[in-house]
Amino acid sequence: MASTAGKVIKTVGKVIKCKAAVAWEAGKPLVIEEVEVAPPQAMEVRIKILYTALCHTDVFFWEAKGQNPVFPRIFGHEAGGIVESVGEGVTELAPGDHVLPVFTGECKECIHCKSKESNMCDLLRINTDRGVMISDGQSRFSINGKPIFHFVGTSTFSEYTVIHVGCIVKISPEAPLDKVCILSCGVSTGLGATLNVAKPPKGSSVAIFGLGAVGLAAAEGARLAGASRIIGVDLNPNRFELARKFGCTEFVNPKDHTKPVQEVLAEMTNGGVDRSLECTGNINAMIQAFECVHDGWGVAVLVGVPSKDAEFKTHPMNFLNERTLKGTFFGNYKPRTDLPSVVEKYMTGELELEKFITHSVSFSEINTAFDLMHKGEGIRCIIRMDG
C-alpha cells in the first residue's frame, strides 16, 4: 500500500467516488455529479486535482460548433495536482508527487520525442476526438456503469482523474500549484510560441492577434526576447488596458478600421511586422496574421485551434515573397523535458504568473468561469477543487 507524508492511502487499487463537472450536451452548463474513477492501469497515473483553469480549447469543444461532438464528457486540461496512485510500469512518479498534466504527451521513445525539433509525440500527441484511454480504448470515468468520456487525455474538471504517465510533468513541490497550474497549457503555449517558434530578434516588431492568456503569454515572450514594438490586435477593446502589463506597446482593433488589418499593420511598421502570433482560433485572424508580416523575413506562427472545416486561403505570392508560416502545439515545448524549466522561470521571478490570474471560483461555481470567458472578462479563472 502506498503512503504519502506518513499517511497510508486507502484508495490505491480501488475505485474512487468523487465529484466531477460533467458536460452532458454541447453548450449546456456543466453538472457536478458523483463519478466513479477506476484505478490507473499500466503506464497510467491517478491524480488528485487541486486547481484547474479554463482554457478556450475546453470552450470550443464544449460548444462543439466547428468540432466533433463527444458527449458526455469531462473537460479540463490546464491544472495542477498530486499523484494518488500509479499503475504498473510507472517508475518515475510516486504518490505524493506534485504534477502538471499536459494535453500533449512525451513518450520519450518515438522519432518525434527523439528529434530536437519536434514535440509531436507519435503515441501521445493531442487528439481532441478520442474520449478513452489509449491502452484499452476504455474510459476510466463512469456513472452507474455508463462511461463518461475523457478530453485530451487529461479531464481535469474532476477531483480525481486518470492520465497516461507520458502526459504528466513532475514539478518541484515548492511551486505553488494554484499559480503554476496555468503553465500546464495557456501560458507555456504562448510563451513557447514566441520564444521557441517565432524567435523575434532583439529590437524587432511583433504583432499578437488575440489577447487572452495565450496571446498575452506570447506578448510576454516577445518582451523577454527584447522586441521593441509589441502590437496587440483584438476585437475586444477591454483587453488593451490589461495587455499593457504584458508588454504590449500599441493596440489595433480591426473594427476601428475600414481597410484590412494587415494593411493597417503594414502602414504602422513600414511594410509589415517582423513576427506575428495568432492566438484566437479564428480563421480570418490566421490569414491576417500571416499577411501582415514583412516580406523578405517575416514569420507568422499559428497557435489558435481552428474549427474542423476551416481553410487557410492566401495568395502563393505571399510565400514567394519570403514570408514564413508556422504553427505549434504547446509552444514547441516537450512537456516532460522542458516544462520544469518554465516552472523554474516563475520560481526565480523571471516570469510572473499572478497577473494572468484575474478570477478564482470554487468547483461548484465552475460555470461562472465559462460565463467570464464568453464575456471576454479577465484572463484566467482558477477553479479551486476543494471548495
Contacting residues for 231 by C-beta, under 8 A, at least 6 apart = 205, 206, 207, 208, 248, 249, 250, 251, 252, 265, 268, 269, 273
Known catalytic membership, residue 56: yes
Note if 248 is an active site residue: no
Interactions with ligand NAD, residue window 10-29 (CB under 6 A):
none
Q: Is 49 among the residues that bind ligand NAD (CB under 6 A)?
A: no
Q: Considering the rule CB under 5 A, would residue 303 count as an interface residue with Zn ion?
A: no
E strands, the chain, in order: 3-4, 7-8, 16-22, 31-37, 44-53, 78-86, 98-101, 141-143, 146-148, 160-164, 168-170, 205-209, 229-233, 250-252, 275-278, 299-302, 324-327, 357-362, 380-384
**Locus of grid cell 529590437:** 203
Of 18, 185, 292, 381, which one is the catalytic site residue?
Answer: 185
Check if 380 is active-site.
yes
Q: Give me the sheet containing 31-37, strands edge to edge.
A: 16-22, 31-37, 141-143, 146-148
- Residue 157 φ/ψ, nearest 5 degrees: -85, 50
Q: Within positions 73 to 132, which residues make up the interface with ligand NAD, using CB under 6 A?
A: none
C-beta of 81 vs 232, nearer to ligand NAD: 232
121 catalytic? Reply is yes
CB nearer to Zn ion: give 39 or 212: 212
Indicate which residue of 46, 73, 77, 98 is catalytic. Answer: 77
Q: Which residue in 107, 167, 181, 279 is the catalytic one?
A: 107
Q: Which is the catalytic residue, given 44, 104, 121, 164?
A: 121
Q: Which is nearer to Zn ion, 149 or 151 (CB)?
A: 151
Q: Which of 219, 304, 339, 366 binds ligand NAD (CB under 6 A)?
A: 304
Q: In angstroms, give the least distance from the CB of 63 to ligand NAD.
A: 11
- Of 57 and 85, the one with the shorter C-beta distance to ligand NAD is 57
Q: How far apart are CA 199 and CA 356, in angstroms?
A: 22
52 binds ligand NAD (CB under 6 A): no
Assigned C-alpha cell, 69: 461532438
By CB under 6 A, what part of segment 234-293 binds ligand NAD?
234-236, 239, 254, 279-282, 284-285
Measuring CA to CA, which residue among 59, 13, 338 is closest to residue 184? 338
Residues 168-187 that bind ligand NAD (CB under 6 A): 185-186
Instruction: Say whether 18 is catalytic.
Output: no
C-alpha 312/C-alpha 284 separation (Å) is: 8
Among 212, 221, 247, 335, indicate the residue that binds ligand NAD (CB under 6 A).
212
Q: Which of 57, 188, 262, 288 binds Zn ion (CB under 5 A)?
A: 57
Please give the Cα distance from 329 to 382 (Å, whole number): 22
Residues 192-251 within binding reach of Zn ion (CB under 5 A): none
Q: Which does 269 bind (CB under 5 to 8 A by kind): Zn ion, ligand NAD, none?
A: none
In 3D space, the residue among 352, 106, 314 whose CA is nearest the CA of residue 221 turns out to be 352
Of the residues 46, 73, 112, 125, which is catalytic?
Answer: 125
Over the range 361-378, which residues count as b (16 or more CB within 10 Å of their CB) and which as e?
Answer: bebeebeebbebbeeeeb
CA distance 114 to 183: 23
Question: Measured on CA atoms in the order 74, 119, 50, 87, is the torsion positive or negative?
Answer: positive
Q: Cell 468523487: give the residue.
A: 18
Residue 205 interface partner, choices ligand NAD, Zn ion, none, CB cut-off 5-8 Å depending on type: none
- Alpha carbon distance, N-terminus to C-terminus of the chain: 28
Q: Which three cell numbers stand for residue 216?
A: 498575452
Determine if 196 is a binding residue for ligand NAD (CB under 6 A): no
The answer to whether residues 234 and 205 touch, using CB atoms and an 8 Å cutoff, is: no
185 part of the active site: yes
Stretch that binds Zn ion, among 32-40, 48-56, 126-134, 244-252 (CB under 5 A): 48-56
* Residues forming the active site: 55-57, 77-78, 107, 110, 113, 121, 125, 185, 380
Please give the residue ranges that form the binding site for Zn ion (CB under 5 A).
Answer: 55, 57, 185
Q: Contact positions toward ligand NAD, by CB under 6 A?
A: 55-57, 60, 185-186, 189, 209-215, 233-236, 239, 254, 279-282, 284-285, 303-305, 328-330, 373, 376
